[in-house]
Amino acid sequence: MPYTDAVNGAPDPATTAAVRTDRSALATAAAVFLIGSFILYWPALQAPFLFDDLYLVFDNRPILSLGNLPAMLRHNRPLVILSYAINYAWGGYAPLGYHAVQVALHGLNAWLVAVVFLTLARRWGGAAGAAPATLWWALGAGAVFLANPLLSMAVVLVSARSELLCAGCYLLGLILYLRQRDRPAGIGWLGVTAVYLAAGLSKEMAVTFPAACLLIALLDGRTLRQVWREEKKLWLALAVVTAALLLKVLQFDWGETVGGGGLPFTRWEYFLTQVTLVARQAGVFLLPLPDWLCADPDYPAVRSLLDPRLLASLVFWATALAGLVWAWRRRRRLVALAGVMYPLAGAPTSSVVPIADPLMEYRIYIPAVFLALLVGGLAWPSGESPHGVGRGRWRAWAGAAGLVLLLIGQAILLQLRLPAYGSSLAFWTDTAAKAPDKPRPNYNLAVTNLRQGLLDEAVAGFRRVLALEPGNTDALLQLGDIARDRGDYAAAQGLYEQVLRRQPKSGVVANRIAYLAIQTGRYDEAFALLAQFPDVSKDAGYYLNLAIYFSRTGQLDRAAAMYRQVLDLEPHNPVAWTNLGNVYQRSARPDQAAECYRRALSLEPNYHLAHFNLALLYARLGELDLAQASLSTVLALNPGFAAAELELGNVLASGRRYNQAEGHYRRFLERQPNHAEGWRRLGLVLDELGRADEAVRCRKRAEQLDGPTPTR
């Protein structure tokens, strides 16, 4: 039975009866929270993979088969990887399934927040805790967690699933621990330990779980000696799991940006920064205005004790300390628990392990559990004050009204925030606008513009990155790639050599220089350069260059083998799938070519070159309607792609739709006025339309450009 008295733990019959009525209500609430989560996050279900999603999902080879369980268990966060593998088994790389799991987990977590609130309120609330209305306050606390826009990054980004899984196990562990507190003689400690381990295998922030359990026991009125005597097995098991998790953390290869030596601040400066962020994020949780939310914020480190942000945060900390004293004196134990655990739950990353980006919204997810409990606890008219429950109904109505207004405001602000996740372009445009002086969001926006075919915007973006960070080799490489793709090989070579001077052993740069040699017909030079690569440098780019080399020199079987090597390393690479399809098409293997193009489009539905080459395949097979549909898609995605106009004209002419074909040929020639074959094709169509004089002029133009017209 629940403990309802802080001194002797005597069970309260009224509270026990109230608990019995909660089960059916909570079961209904679980469905409501789950449905509510999908209603609130419905726009996000169509979001693409964003930010770290791309490499955490696509570059995790163990997820490709549920049979790779040993490889998953060796990962830093095996339960997260297992969940990705289940997603992949259900729907491959389609983002919808991954987002649906995210939204469902968030809904269940919000429900667990409500269950924890209700359990603690029944336990510590006296007569108020036994009241039926307590259930509504618990649901309100869960709803605050559900609708808060500050948590949207953790919900929408698939790469933040570790936060959701860890929080869910953390909350379930607290519920099981509360049951174990009431029945310490059973084997409930095994369940608590297992769920704690699951939380730790999802994210290392779970190491604060024993502290939450200990604080609950102390707030129950137990001394440390009593806690040890009553729950010795549990605490021994928790200690073993904690030691194992800490040992696992010590074995992580974090890299320079997490706990490494390349951080742009000292540990002391990082700690001071986090002191301010704990205050800031609590304020943003209560008032999550769109301008305050940013996926990749630029938050400079606090380097001085006189920094205005630090001085302002001290007001928050002083107020928080006074609030804890008030909560303790008024016996508001739920408020005291939440107030202590909010900063403590974030301490593993906010204070212990420094990270190059001090502020990331998704890291607030687990601490926000306690912020939601705190908000609900402050609004809830607990009966444990010295003045009793009868202080006045105004307090209950005021708390309820405040909670409802907060929920409505948060739900509205969430809908204002979600469009930023609607596409990569929207995501990085929003982020770069809010962090204009940070290189990474500007770089990612430029990359997104490049993928959308907005080359001028991409070039301007990469140059902005170089203005912010002159040594940014990624931006130099991208500018080199754009120059290369525009045919300005001299400019590309110069940019690549700038990178090579900074990274003289870079296989990435050498690959690009080899590609330039292939593009300019210097095949022997390119092959000689690739032959010098050590095995450790033979990455996907190396095999891609070999594939292009073999394709250009007519060695199609060897080219296909190299593309398969690329796809073994990068199974998500739509360019490699498309190029492999081109090799199969040239090798007269149409079925395999079509499958490759479809794989490319499953990964990147808007990849116009895959649509274009699939259209060429359909045209060769005589499937003119399918070819026309694919070419129309190409032009919808990239209206400036002149080759698609030419091929669509050819397809329409083959189907004797000469009037339509003429329009596409003319649009092609507006962009490529010196293309002899285009003029020749237009002349043939005009002949069919009976416009002989115009046809003659077209043929003469073709002859001027490319010699006499072949005999028909």
Beta-carbon contacts of 518 under 8 Å, excluding residues fewer than 6 positions away, are 526, 545, 548, 549, 552
CB atoms within 10 A of CB 256: 10
Residue 660, domain member (yes or no): yes
Q: What is the CATH number of the domain that holds 670?
A: 1.25.40.10
Note the Cα 704 to chain centre separation in Å. 55
> According to the model, what pLDDT value does residue 11 have?
46
End-to-end CA distance of the chain: 95
Q: What is the CA radius of gyration of the chain?
A: 31
Residue 307 has pLDDT above 80, yes or no: yes
Residue 260 has pLDDT above 50, yes or no: yes
Residues 480-533 pLDDT 10s: 989 888 888 889 888 988 888 888 777 778 778 888 887 777 877 777 777 776
Residue 50, domain member (yes or no): yes
The answer to whether 320 and 232 have CB atoms below 8 angstroms apart is: no
pLDDT band at 18 (very low <50, low <70, confident <90, very high): low
pLDDT band at 439 (very low <50, low <70, confident <90, very high): very high
Residues 198-211 pLDDT 10s: 999 998 889 999 99
pLDDT band at 712 (very low <50, low <70, confident <90, very high): very low
Residues 378-414 pLDDT 10s: 888 875 444 444 455 677 778 788 889 999 999 999 9
70 vs 241, which has greater pLDDT?
Answer: 241
pLDDT band at 10 (very low <50, low <70, confident <90, very high): very low
Quote the domain boundaries for residue 36: 13-253+278-294+302-418
Which residue among 418, 443, 474 closes a domain? 418
Phi, psi of 470 (to 5 degrees): -55, -25
> According to the model, what pLDDT value does residue 7 have?
37
Residue 98, domain member (yes or no): yes
Structure tokens given for 595? 């499958």
What percent of the chain lies above the pLDDT cut of 70? 90
Residues 575-586 pLDDT 10s: 899 999 999 999
Residues 600-629 pLDDT 10s: 998 888 888 999 999 999 999 999 999 999
Which residue among 402, 418, 434 closes a domain? 418
Q: Pick the closest to residue 129 from 396, 387, 381 (CA basis).
A: 381
The answer to whether 148 and 281 have CB atoms below 8 angstroms apart is: no
What percent of the chain lies above the pLDDT cut of 90? 47
The answer to whether 219 and 335 have CB atoms below 8 angstroms apart is: no
Q: Pick the closest to residue 423 from 708, 65, 95, 79 (CA basis).
A: 95
709: exposed, middle or buried (C-beta count within 10 Å: 0-12, 13-18, 19+)?
A: middle
pTM, full prediction: 0.76
Report the largest interatomic distance among the alpha carbons of the chain, rounded to a whole angstrom: 107
CB atoms within 10 A of CB 520: 12
Residue 475, domain member (yes or no): no
> According to the model, what pLDDT value does residue 114 have?
95
> According to the model, what pLDDT value does residue 385 have?
44
The answer to whether 355 and 257 have CB atoms below 8 angstroms apart is: yes
Residue 510, domain member (yes or no): no
Residue 559, domain member (yes or no): no
218: exposed, middle or buried (C-beta count within 10 Å: 0-12, 13-18, 19+)?
A: middle
> According to the model, what pLDDT value does residue 351 have?
54
> According to the model, what pLDDT value does residue 394 have?
72
What is the C-alpha to C-alpha distance for residues 605 and 709, in angstroms, rounded to an integer?
40
Residue 708 has pLDDT above 60, yes or no: no
Residue 83, domain member (yes or no): yes
> According to the model, what pLDDT value does residue 35 have?
95
Residues 93-137 pLDDT 10s: 889 999 999 999 999 999 999 999 999 998 888 767 677 788 888
- Residues in a beta bridge with 355: 258
The answer to whether 375 and 406 have CB atoms below 8 angstroms apart is: yes
647 vs 506, which has greater pLDDT?
Answer: 647
Number of independent structural domains in the chain: 2
Residue 710 has pLDDT above 70, yes or no: no
Residues 528-576 pLDDT 10s: 777 776 665 677 777 887 888 888 888 899 999 999 988 888 888 888 9
b/e map of 670-684 (b: 16 or more CB within 10 Å)? eebeebbebbbbbbb
Which residue among 372, 396, 418 closes a domain? 418
- Quick one: average pLDDT of 644-673? 91
What is the C-alpha to C-alpha distance for residues 445 and 151, in angstroms, rounded to an integer?
23
Beta-carbon contacts of 451 under 8 Å, excluding residues fewer than 6 positions away, are 424
Residue 75 has pLDDT above 80, yes or no: no
Residue 712, domain member (yes or no): yes
The answer to whether 130 and 14 have CB atoms below 8 angstroms apart is: yes
